Structures are given as structure tokens and as C-alpha cells.
Chain A
Amino acid sequence: MRMFNWSDFSRALMPVLFAGVLLGQIAPATYKPPSYKDLKYPVLREVKIPDIPAYQLPNGIKLYLLENHELPLVSGFALVRTGSLFDPPDKTGLAQITGSVMRTGGTKTKTGEQIDVQVENLAASVESGIGLTNGRVSFNCLRENTDEVMAVFREVLTAPQFRQEKLDLLKGQLRGAIARRNDDAPGIAGREFNDIVYGRNTPYGREMEYTDLDHIQRSDLVNFYQRYYFPANTVIAIQGDFLAADMKAKVEALFAGWNDKQAPVPAFPQVKGAPSPGIYLATKNDITQTFFEIGQLGGVFRDKNYPALEVMADILGGGFSSRLFRRVRTELGYAYNIGASWGANFDHPGIFRIGGSTKSANTLDAIKAAEEEVARIRTSEVTGQELATAKETALNSFVFNFDNPSKTLARVVTYEYYGYPKDFIFQFQKNIQNVTKADILAAAKEYIKPEQFTVVAVGKPQDFGKPLTTLGKVTPIDLTIPEPVKAAAQSNTANLAKGKALLGRVQQAVGGADKLAAVKDVTETADVDLQTGQGAMKAKQVNQSLLPGQFRQTQELPFGKVIAYSDGATGWLQTPQGQMPMPDTVIQQVQMEIFRQIFSLLLSDRDSGRTVNAVGENKIEISDKNGHQVTVELDPSSSLPIKQLYQSSGNPVQETFSDWKVVDGIKLPFRIAIEQGGKKFADVTVRDWKLNTGLKPEDLSKKP
């Protein structure tokens, strides 16, 4: 087949083209476009940079005003020096919650819903939030409604009430967000990469967990607000269709009664350079791409090498004409998303990162290609054309920093907030033009440290083709979400001692700790009556365990046989439909089952990773560092462990054990009743328990 031919096309359409000429269009018979190199441009007319006066109000508020009469709108924001960096370690999320409930929880005179209706009736908005390094309350409205909307703005900023119901609502929503956080693969990669590079146990790398939410109370919100929201800690910036003198008087009158005082807010915690470089893998089996992040700590804008680093990162991976884009996307066709940026912030190091996603089979090649590009930019100078392009781009696009006056206002306020010179953007522009090829190479060598890189990959390792270990030692990332702990017990010394004593009684009751410790493998055969959503069902189960962590289950059900195997980290399922990797949700459940396995559970006092805590006269709470937790209830007279209570997939589960018989000197239950969410789920009748039959790992792991 021959390709479509352009000259045929033109001939075929001649009559139409001819008609165009008759109508007076300029259509030279042989059109020859100039080269872009020959175009001559007039000088760009000067940009208007608005003058933004700053005022200090008597109560300490700093005010910036910008008149902008193009549209009949007014908008503004208050910037408050606070941030989630000030979250207490056991209340991660407090700042975020405070910022949000400031608005939703209403004010002294209005509930949150009343504010919703009032501002939405005016097609206006008033919002509040707290980020990493600042708090913000903002508004926007039509010019006509300025007074009414600014009154609400003032109330949200100065008199929030944090109504309990809105705190509860948000906590419920955040619980949902935690439960869903592993559904979004690129989200996992970004989160884990950030947390590892900054350090998981630092204000920059900590994640909100269910326990944080349990700890956060309304009084915490009130205290957090009071500590940070006071006039001397607040900057207000307003722009739009008003006269500055009028607006200044308006703001002064509006906030005249706000005179709260607090000690100055301390500096934000520093980033502590404690990198734990290496290759990390989060397994997610339900995706066809691997999402990866590669990098290290970056820097701050005021570094003298920032301009060179910015140009370096731009050439490496800054856009459609960067090296990474060219290599990984255009030449290899490996990725839709690929890019790099030199992470800089105003006040703390950002993260130098290369990020992208590629089909599972290309994982290794894409990561290697990215690392090779890093090596190249560290060993040889960029080309003259690359540098010229970077400089031309920066110079010619500079005007877009001023195409809307609001950008100037935002910049003035931000520079002031972080203590940067007013003309920082012009200095930066000048410095970019002075960067040399040698500067870029020197900066890349000095700042980019591949041996300190953290690599995070999220994907399905069995499809990678080549294993990730080809790149080096791989540390698995445990994505298990610690289950919400209901009324976490106080683990003081007394409770711990009592817990140990209670567990000792249980060990005695079933036959002694040494007997339990001697168990190496277990085979349990049982008949199960299941109550499922689809009705009742009978099953026969054989459960084989090789202690502590290997598990195999064979089930016979009306529809066929199912075999499940897991070593606690990975596993597979064999069903009548075929074999498949064990879904992450099932692996999480198996981990809980392994944790609750009666032989190891009753010896939890011998495991330094577990806490055994008394939570009542005859109740022990056993937990581990991975967030597993179970409450064991003792029969007061026999001291047998007759009940287990735990959470599974967010639902409360209760198991009741009875019909105890001695097997090889150990008392074991032969009937187990399981309730889930308060409803009957299963009755289990154990036919027999067999201990120490000499099971080998391969007996459990072998595929049928």
C-alpha cells in the first residue's frame, strides 16, 4: 500500500482553491512559508506592574490592597503563620482538621449550614484551610456583596465555634480517606516516596492514622486555633473592584475588635537530613503499570545555586522538550507521564524527584533509563543549544508572571511571609541568564547524589520481567492500614504487669507455656456452617499452619475446591476458575489470622514486638507494631480464653470458643461461633486437631 500523496490532494481540490483566489484571498500559487528563524519581532511593550501598598493596622494585622477594576469582583485572603508542621506527633492531622472545621463548624452567630446558604445565595465563597506551612481563610464575591461576605470572612477568621458535629463528620470522612488511600497507585508512590525521603517519623513525613483521629478532640482544635490565630500573626490581602482608601477603612473597622494576643510563633521544625536511601517496593496486584519515584532532598529558593539547579532539572525533565521526555516517552514509548523537578521551597528543602509510570514489564528499563539520564547530566556539560533554549524560554515567558495583577499580589505577600526580598523574581531572572554550562555541571555533581537516591515502585512485581532486585537490595513497603483501635487501653506499667499475669493464667489453663512453645505445626480439620449474604452454606476446611507465619487452607464448598496459601507477605488462591495472586485485602486478613493463631497468640509475652495489656478483670488486649489488635476474654473460673474480639475490614468480629478437649496435653476448642457486626456469621465444628506432624514449608506452598 502506498502512502497518501499530498500533491494528488492539492490537484483534486484545485477548483475550490481557485474560488478562494477569486474571492480576493491572498493565495499565492506557490506558497512558501518563511522559516521561523527569519521572523522579526517588535519589542514587547512594557508590562504594567501594579503598585501594592502595605498597611499596618493598629491591632497588628498587615494589609495589602490591589485595585483591579476589570471585572466586578472582590476577593481576598488572610494568611496566618501556622501549619501542619506544628501537629503533635500523636495527633497528626490536627492542623488540617482545625483549618477545615473553622469554616464548617460555624461561628458565634451562625452555624456552618447557615453560612453555606448565605454565601451561596450570593454566589460567593468563604473557605478556610491549613497546609504544611500556612493557614488561610479566603473569600470571593461580586462587588455588590463585599460588605456582607467580608463580615462572614471576619467571623470565620476571628470567632469560629468548632461545633462538635462537624468535627465528627470530618473525622468520619478522614477515616474513609485512610481506608481508601491504597486504592490510588500514583498516590501511594508519591506518599511513600515523600515519607521515606523526609523520614517517616518527622513532621514532614508522617501520615495520619486512625489512632490520630481517635486522639483529636474539640478542645485540641480550640487550643490550636487560639495559639496561632491572632492579629499580629496575620496578613490580609484583598484585590478587586474597590478603591484602596475605602477598603482600608473598611478592614480597619471590621477587625477593630480583634485584639487577641499570643507569644510570637516559633520557627517551623527543620528538615533533618536523615535519608534512608534504597529501593522500595509496594506490591499492588490490580494494576498494569508501575508508578515510580526516584530522588532525594532538594533545596530552597535562596540557595545561590538554585538558578543552575532549576535549569539543570528543566533540561533533565522539565517538559515536552526535556531529555527524560525525549528518551523515556518519545524514543522508548515507555511512559505517558515522565518528568523531573528540582524541588525547592521558600523555607525548607523540597524534593528532587523523577516520577513516571510505565507498563509493568518495562519497570526496570524505565527506571534504568531515568538513572542513566541522571548520570549523564552529572558527567558531561549540557549542550549549548539546551542552555540557550532554557534561557530563551525563561526570558521570553517572563511576562506571564505579570499577565494578571493578582499574581503580583500573591508574590508580594508570599515573599513577605517567607522573608524574601521584594525583587526576588527579578534577581532570579537575572541569575538564570548568567548560568553557564560549567555552573550546571558543577551544581549537578555537588547536589545530585545518586548513591543517596530513594527509589519507590508501586506495581505488580510478578509482571516486572526482570526482578527489581537487579537494581539492588529491595525493601518491601507494608501498605497495611493499622486498624482503628477502639478505646485503646492505657498501657501503664500496672496494666502491663496485670496483662502478663492474666496471660500466664491462660497458659496454665490450656496446659502450660512450654507445651504451647513446643508446637511447630498444626493441622485442623473442621466443618463450617456459613451464613453469607447469599444464604447458608456448608464447607469442609483443612487449615495447615507452620508456625509462626505460613498458612494453607483447603476448603470444599458446594461449587468446588478452593486452596489458599500465604507466607504472610504474598500468596495465591486456587479456585475452580483458576489460579490468581492473593488480593491485598485477603493478605491483610491472613496477616490478622496469623497474628491471632492461638498458639502464638497465647505466647505473645515472649514476642518483644507485641504488647500484652490488661483491660479488665478478665480481659487482655494483645497488639503488635503493625496495628493488629485482639482482645481475649477469660472464663473467670477456668481461665480458658473463651472469646476473641477484633476488627476486620473495619467491622467488629467476635469469636466464642467452647467444647474444650485435650490434644497432646493442650486444651483446644472444638466449637467456635463467629459473629460479625453483631450478626451470626459461622459455626465451626472441629473434627480434629493434629499437632507436630512434621509439615515442611513446601507442603504448604506447593501449588496444586
Chain B
Amino acid sequence: MSILLLVPLLMRAQNLKDFEKRVTEFTLGNGMHFIVLERHDAPVVAFHSFVDVGTVDDPSGEHSMAHMFEHMIGKGTTTVGTKNWPEEQKALAEVETAYDKLDDERWKGNKAGPAKVQQLETKLKEAIDKANSYVEPNAYIRVIDENGAAGFNASTSPDSTSYFYSLPSNRIELWFLMQSEWFRRPVFREFYKERDVVREERRMRVESDPQGKLQELLQATAFMAEPYRDLIGWASNIENLRAKDAERFFRKYYTPGNITIAIVGDVDPAQAKRFADKYYSSIPAGPPPPPMITVEPPQDGEKRALLDSDSQPLLAIAYKRPNQTDKDDPVFDVINAILSSGRTGLLYKELVTEKKLALEAESAATVPSGKYPNLFQFFSVPAPDHNIEENEKTIYGILDRLKTEKVDPATLERVKTKLRASLIHQLDSNSGLASQLAFYHVEYGDWRTLFTGMDLINKVTADDVQRVVRQYFVDSGRTVAYTHVPVPPNVKTNDGKGVAK
């Protein structure tokens, strides 16, 4: 066993030394940070722009604002995506004016004049149509596509927003130009149509998916105050998002000092530095964005939530845990691997194969994200003829065992080996590496943590596992959410009777 352990350990050291030789880091005068990793195997380069703003920063009443930016990347800039920027700019300002007038009237509530509202709605629609007439459809994405980009996309998490794609390595200047123009001055054209698209995304991911609904309920129940309570934004908030508020949000959070760029692939760092200076250094610096200050009050007892759903039963259980920089963070990763990794994970073994109570049973160590105190979550899909209660009890039984018995050395060693190996597998793709380097730089202060974090995992002992399970997997920190087939109280039909006895 101990020999097994040594091999991946050595590899870690080699990887870090090897990577350090190939990484170049620099920060521009305006605070924007670049990490460049050379990998010359193939003539391609991956770019990952990581902005330290996420849905936790959504202003009150503007949930999904951070998410809207992910959708606005394709809308272009003042130079790409427009037929006539000066005219379009005026037209966009008129849209906002018309929208303000409509809101002023609408928000009068009972005192609003329906005819006036209708008239102002028409005016708004006309203003939007006019602004749209200046749009060069799809131009921004088309330019990037034509240059052979692969994997163009963006994503929003509770803690961050990312924009990424890869290019053939002879065309890297295009990325510097296009992305810097957007970070300098994105144009929120077609904002209100894109808002409808985000509303559709909510319908698809949450309202039409029992698992999405359950997850939303779980987070909203577990967190009273912390913004992690919000899964994708409430419908009413999405429907009222405004472009002028997006401008304000951009000014506050999209400052160069809040943006980290990782570039991985067939790239010359000196050239990358020259392009960075040329295209990014004139973006004005800004004050550091305000931190998210809301702290979840202590939980004083188990919370339970029930979701009426025609679907087959689903169960979610979550325990409060500290954030990713806590000293116990690696212990939670190890616990998660003990519970959920592969076919030897305790949940799969006991619930799925041995007792056959579940079709799927798994855990996740950091839900929905890690920057702030978050959740260690269980999810189970009960098998036919078995119910939520049996699944719930069995999961508690497994946790009780982890509290009373120490995890055996073979299991502990196995999960550590697997965690190390999964790191090595991650090193195989440019885009995956770019995303990891940027993430570790921002969230842990140094990209090297990607490697050194393994040392912390390695130090986790059976005592640590027992201590952390005892401390955090307690009833008073627990939230349970599950589905239930809605039957009106007096039509007992879950067995086929009642409706027609």
C-alpha cells in the first residue's frame, strides 16, 4: 500500500516543478492579472476569462443580473455588432427613457391608468424596435467562429462568471482584441429579448424539471439570508431586469482588478504580454468591488421541505459546512470521496447494490459553491417499492457509522489515491487547465494551490474524518427536501383506489 502512495506523490512534485517552469504571470497597471502556461504539443490556445463576480452579488430585486452578463457576451461591442454606433447609442438611451416612464406609471399600482400603461408599453416597444434596427445580427460570435474558435461559451456560478474559447495559435491576437473590447465597453443591445431567454432557461432548468425544483427548494430552505439560497433567480426578478441596472452592475464589478485571464497552449508569453499591454492596459482601473457581507445566522434545528410533484420520489439532504478556505475543507473532500467515489463509495454500495433502496445515491462536498459557507449535500433516487423514509434512514445510518467507527486505512488510502489521480487526468486539456489556473488564483490566491492542495488532502487522517462528521453532520445543521405526489387530502389515490374504489 505505501508504495502505491509514493508514486502519485512524486508525480505531484514533478508536475508542480514542471508547471512552474512553463508558467508566466503578470499584472497590468490597471490590476488585470494574466497567467500564461506554455504547452506546445498542438498549435492551439485556450483562453479563460474569470471575473470575480457571481450570483451572490446580484443586487436585491435583481436576481440573475450576474447571469445576464453571461448571455450578453455574444451581443458585441461598440465596434462589432452595430450598423451605426452613435445612432444605436441614442436609440438604446431612448429605450431606457421609455422604460422608465412605463415603470413610473406601472409602479403606481392601483392608481396606474391602464390606458396609459398600454400607451407607454407601445412606446417602449417602438423604442426597442428602433434600437434593434441598428443591430448587426450575430456579428460578434460570427467573427470568432470564422476564425476557427472551439468551445465558445460562458458560465455563471454563485461566485464567479467565466468567458472562454480556444483558437488556432496563429490567431491569438483576435482574442486579445475581441475580449478586451467587450471588457472595455460591452453593449447591452437586445437586452430585453435576452431577458426572455433567461426566463425560458428558468422554465427549462427549474420549472419543468422535478430535480431542479427540488434543488431550488432545498437551497432556499437551507439558507435564510445567504445568497446561496438562490438557484437561478426568481421569475419576477428576471422579468424586471433593466439594462440601465446592468450598466451599474458592470461599472461596479467588471473592473480590471476583478478579472483574471488564463491562457494555455501554444503561446509565446512575451508576445502574450505585448498583446495584453496593447489591448488591455488602457482599460481604466476601478475601485475594488464591495464584498458580499451577508452572513447566514446560525441554524437552530432541522428544516424540512416538501415538494408536491407528480414525478417519482426524489430526496435531498444537506448539512451546513464552512467555506473552501476553512482548514477542514480537504476533510470534506475526503468524506465526499469515501461516500460517493466510484462503485466502492459507501452510498452506492449500501443504498444501490446491497439494500437496493435507491437507483442512484450520491453526495457533493461543496454546494452550490465554495467561497462562502455552503452545503454538503446528499441526493437519492429511491428504487421502486422503496420510499424516501428508508433512504433517509439509511443515509443517517452511514453517517452514524462514520461518527462511531474510524474509517479503515485501506479506504482512506484508496480515496486519496483517486483524488490525486483525478488531478493528473485534469492536466490533459488546455481549456480545463486554463479554467483551473484562473479559479485557483482567484479563489485561493495562487494557481499553485491546484497542486499543493493535494498535500492537504494527503494529511487528512481517520481522526479528522470522524471529527468533522461529528461536528458538522448534525441534526441542527440539516435540511431535508423531498418530493411527494400531490393528492388532495380526501382523494387517496396513491394506490389506485379512492377515485374509483
Enumerate chain A interface residues (CB-CB to B < 8 A): 1-4, 6, 9-10, 13-14, 16-17, 19-21, 23-28, 31, 33-36, 39, 41-48, 70-73, 104, 112-113, 116-117, 120-125, 142, 144, 169, 172-173, 175-177, 179-180, 183-186, 285-289, 291, 319-321, 325-326, 329-337, 357-359, 388-389, 392-393, 395-400, 402-404, 526, 528, 530, 532, 537, 539, 541, 543, 551, 553, 555, 557-562, 564, 573, 575-577, 583-586, 589-590, 592-594, 648-651, 653, 672, 674, 676, 681-682, 684
Q: If A73-B425, A333-B195, A357-B204 touch, does A399 touch B42 (CB 8 Å cutoff)?
A: yes
B177 at the interface (CB under 8 A from A): yes
| B384 in contact (CB, < 8 A) | yes
- Provide the residues of chain A in CB contact with B381, threshold 8 Å: 176, 180
* B279→A555 contact, CB < 8 A: no
Whether A120 pairs with B501 at a CB distance below 8 angstroms is no
Q: How far is the CA of A693 from the CA of B155 in the complex (A)?
A: 65
Q: Is the CB of B200 within 8 A of A123?
A: no
Instruction: Indicate if B359 sits at the interface (CB-CB under 8 A).
Output: yes
**What 0/1 pattern do residues 395 to 424 of B give for CB contact below 8 A with A?**
000000000000000100110011011101
The answer on a CB contact under 8 Å between A672 and B177 is: no
Contact B418 A585 (CB under 8 A): no
Q: Which one of A28, A289, A396 contacts B204 once the chains associate, using CB atoms below 8 Å?
A: A289
Given A319-B145, A326-B137, A589-B499, A23-B29 contact (CB < 8 Å): yes
Contacts A47-B42, A586-B499, A590-B500; is A286 near B169 (CB within 8 Å)? no
Residues of A within 8 A of B278 (CB): 26
Q: Which of B111-164 contact A (CB under 8 A)?
A: 137-138, 141-143, 145-150, 152
Please report which residues of chain B, range 272-291, place their CB below 8 angstroms from some CB of chain A when the two chains form the complex: 277-279, 281-282, 284-286
Cβ of B352: which chain A residues have Cβ within 8 Å of it?
173
> Quick one: which of B166, B488, B491, B493 has the most chain A CB within 10 A?
B488
Tell me the B426-440 residues at the A interface (CB within 8 Å): 427-430
- Inter-subunit contact A175/B148 (CB<8 Å): no
Question: Are A72 and B11 closer than 8 Å at their CB atoms?
Answer: yes
Q: A586-B491, A594-B500 are in contact. List 12 more A-B contacts (CB 8 A).
A: A2-B96, A33-B177, A71-B427, A73-B425, A176-B384, A288-B207, A326-B137, A333-B193, A333-B195, A334-B196, A397-B148, A553-B500
Give CA–CA (A113, B348) in the complex, Å.
Answer: 12
A585 to B491 CA separation, bound complex (whole angstroms): 13
Say yes or no for B20: interface residue by CB 8 A criterion: no
Minimum CB–CB distance from B384 to chain A (whole Å) comes to 5
B342 A120 Cβ-Cβ under 8 A: yes
* Contact flag A121-B414 (CB < 8 Å), given A399-B44, A649-B494: yes
Given contacts A45-B43, A402-B42, contact A4 B147 (CB under 8 A): no
Kindly report which residue of chain B lies nearest to residue A29, judged by CB atoms: B282
Q: Does B298 contact A (CB under 8 A)?
A: no
Q: Is B300 engaged at the interface, CB distance under 8 Å to the other chain? A: no
Q: Which bracket fits the contact residues of B?
A: 35 or more
Which of B138, B490, B493 sits near A557, CB closer than 8 Å?
B490
Instruction: Decide: A33 and B204 in contact? CB cutoff 8 A.
Output: no
Interface check B456, CB cutoff 8 A: no
Measured in the bound complex, the distance between the Cα atoms of B145 and A421 in whole Å is 29
Using Cβ atoms and an 8 Å threshold, which residues of chain B touch A9?
A: 251, 284
Chain A residues with CB under 8 Å of B384's CB are 172, 175-176, 179, 650
In the docked arrangement, what's the CA distance between A31 and B30, Å? 15
Stretch from B53-61, B306-314, B322-330, B464-472 forming part of the interface with A? B306-314
A116 nearest CB across to chain B (Å)? 4
The 7 closest A-B pairs by CB, nearest first: A396-B148, A333-B196, A648-B496, A20-B29, A123-B421, A557-B490, A593-B500
27 A-B pairs whose Cβ atoms sit less than 8 Å apart in the complex: A21-B29, A26-B277, A39-B177, A45-B43, A48-B41, A116-B343, A120-B414, A122-B4, A123-B8, A123-B417, A124-B421, A142-B7, A179-B312, A291-B208, A319-B145, A326-B138, A335-B197, A335-B200, A396-B147, A399-B148, A404-B42, A526-B501, A555-B491, A559-B489, A562-B490, A650-B384, A651-B385
Residues in B with CB closer than 8 Å to A586 are: 491, 493, 499
Q: Is B174's CB under 8 angstroms from A39's CB?
A: yes
Q: Which residue of B lies closest to A575 (CB)?
A: B488
Whether A585 touches B500, Cβ cut-off 8 Å, given contacts A44-B43, A116-B343, A321-B142, is no
- Cβ distance A19 to chain B, nearest Cβ, rounded Å: 7
A36 lies within 8 A of B281 (CB): no
Given A289-B200, A336-B201, are A393 and B359 neighbors across the interface (CB < 8 Å)?
no
Best-buried of A36, A175, A326, A562 by chain B (most CB within 10 Å):
A36
CA–CA, A682 to B489, complex, Å? 16
A14 — nearest CB in chain B belongs to which residue?
B284
Residues of B within 8 Å of A43, CB to CB, are 170
Nearest chain B CB to A391 CB, angstrom units: 9
B490 lies within 8 A of A183 (CB): no
Q: Is B318 an interface residue (CB 8 A)?
A: no
Give the complex CA separation of A25 and B285 in angstroms: 12
Query: B344 contacts the other chain (Cβ, under 8 Å)?
Result: yes
CB distance from A97 to the nearest CB of B (A): 15
- B311→A180 contact, CB < 8 A: yes
Beta-carbon contact of B148 and A400 below 8 Å: yes
Query: Which residues of chain B have C-beta atoms less than 8 A from A575's C-beta?
Result: 488-491
Chain A CB within 8 A of B393 CB? no
Q: Which residues of B contact A47 (CB under 8 A)?
A: 42-43
